[in-house]
Structure 1
Amino acid sequence: MTVADEEPALLGLAPVAPDRTVAYGSHPDQLVDLYVPRASGGAPAPGPLVVLLHGGFWRAAYDRRHLSPLAAELAGRGLPVALAEYRRVGAGGGAPQTFEDVTAGIDAACAALAGASPDPSPVLVGHSAGGHLALLAAARPDTPVTRVLAVSPVADLARAHALGLSDGAVGELLGAGPGFPERLAAADPVRHPPAGVPVTILHGTDDPDVPLDLSRRYAAQSPATTVLRELPGVGHYAPVTPGSPSCDVLVGLVCRPSST
């Protein structure tokens, strides 16, 4: 699969319906889809609770459905999975609503799946803008997250803004005008590495949407807690597309015990 083929390969997968959906607020996007563990050739393997955060540069045009095949894949490996939605730019989101929703969605997922795993503290998996949100959520003082797997994340928000990624998506997220530098600093993961929470970053060397340099910059700022795994020849979407070799790497990292 070429880099150009990655996006249509992911978006061409049929969405997988969840086992149930729970709401954590009154807005239509304040939802968490739950996928219960399923056996894959035998009894479900014990594994962590997984919370997935989708990308799309924080915009309402992109929702959680494109990550539902990944959620189902992980559930098929015996993992309880929560695929969180959140308010996004253009539909009631942006700062601070998007950040507040991610926090509330993680808490709702933990409550809804309590007892579903021998490891009740969640692993947070975020792709692209969802990787940014995962890194930021794991840095909150009272986070329940035990580890983060950030895939092609917007890990350096200031650099992303300077590059004008996706036609100024960072500015749309944070809002222009007075106080923008302060909002940017507060929402930039590279300035707020999560204390005591290990981070693994997966990033393709040929990613045309979120440059690998953003992940390298994040890893250089927090080398004690961050492992960066570069995927040669891989673009932006293959790591979250079930059936691709790079997605197999992701699944293997999610399924490993937290202590290893």
Structure 2
Amino acid sequence: MTKAGRRLLREVGNIYRTAGAAPAARFAGAIVRNAKEVVAAGNLSPADRAMAPGRYAFQVGDRTVLVDGSAFAGAREMYGRGVYFALPGFHLRPTDVALDLGANVGLFSVAAAILARRVIAVEAQSGFIEEIRRNAAMNGCADKIAIEHGLLGPGKGVFADPHRLHTASHYGTTPPAITVPELLEKHAIDRIGFLKCDIEGAEFEVFRRGETWLSKVDRVAMEVHPEFGDPEELASVMREHGLGVQLLNNDLEKVSRLTETGYLFASR
């Protein structure tokens, strides 16, 4: 079997494992029906879009998270592949205060609100804010999520370009610049149990030498975008603050260097 074929089977298997037999069968059918589009796109987006009608129940840890079909692609990555939970020890604990940098529609935030003590969700695109609220309400955990509309690391990454920010899919109003120390002070946080980060290259500005707040963080799971900086510099900063580091490529395989988008995991 080809590598692409193994990857498809793995993706369907992930849906079976986390959402059950019926969604897995439906997803497999969507891949087959949209095979030409999948091949042309080089990814599973056409099949993901075919899953939009309906609602799905994903198992995350020992709890269930309800997901609207419009967010199926994100749920497949977040819960099915478990991209932020890929290493031992990287799970949400009942005592954790979580920080979700780049919350999007709130899939990580909702899981953190269900599994952990509370979560601060930060999102630069104001059009996502109502979706976060809606997903939180659907899962009965809105009271445990504090939502912040703000732009982290405004000098680096995709949204450092005003045109790319203003033409982003869910741009609505200009996000104020915000820093992690400001968030910690505002929400009276003295310890971050789990920090998830996907901020499209701005991580190279947010996580830099001299950021003393990193001493308050126990675990970091971060998507890294090497086109905006050197991942080894991020790893070095983590190590300077007493965190052990592991890099994973987009297939969640351990690697010594990242040359394409992948993941950095750091923990004490």
Q: If each structure's helix is expressed as a fraction of its own residues, which one has the higher value?
A: 2
**Structure number with higher relative contact order (C-alpha < 8 Å, ≥ 6 residues apart):** 1
Query: What is the TM-score when the length of structure 1 is the normalising length?
Result: 0.39
